[in-house]
Amino acid sequence: MIQQKADFLKNQFIPLLKQIPAETQPKWGKMTLQQMIEHFADSMRIASGKTVYTDIITPPETLQRMRDFLASEKPFRENTVNPMLPEVPAPVKNPSVEEAIQELSQEVDFFFDVFEKNDLQVTRNPLFGDLNFEQNVQLLHKHALHHLRQFGVENP
């Protein structure tokens, strides 16, 4: 199952994003398509350890429930609040959606390279705690499906 999710992230996610017209309005949330893609690139940097967090902001009494949700096949709900994100989405960094997708593609490749070099690698997610490869893939896959649904891609 994890291998299928990893294959999805490696081989299907980017092509699906490329099929979404840049002007597509989200079904929920405040981010534009480009903001979402750049937000996902940030998530990849956390998963790969390129962006390092020392603190886990989830209260200790809630962390196991968060990790149980992560391990489940339950999707993120629409309008799930991420306490790491500002109320107003960050301005875009890339000149275009295409360049944001290219940046994301590089971050996806980097993530898999990191874990191919060290399959015992663990990275700290500020919401879910310390995650190994399988847990990061589970989270990234769940996160990817959430944002694809947000922009109208159902059951990829």
User: Which token pair is 120?
Assistant: 């015992």
Q: How far apart are CA 1 and CA 6, in angstroms?
A: 9
Provide the sign of the torsion angle of the four alpha carbons 155, 6, 131, 37, taken in this order. Answer: negative
For the segment 41-80, what is each residue's pLDDT rounded down to a tens digit?
A: 999 999 999 999 999 999 999 999 999 999 999 999 999 9
- Give the chain's mean pLDDT: 96
**Per-residue CA distances from 24 to 31, 38, 89, 106 (Å):** 11, 16, 16, 23
For the segment 2-53, what is each residue's pLDDT rounded down to a tens digit?
A: 999 999 999 999 999 999 999 999 999 999 999 999 999 999 999 999 999 9
Task: State pTM to two decimals.
Answer: 0.96
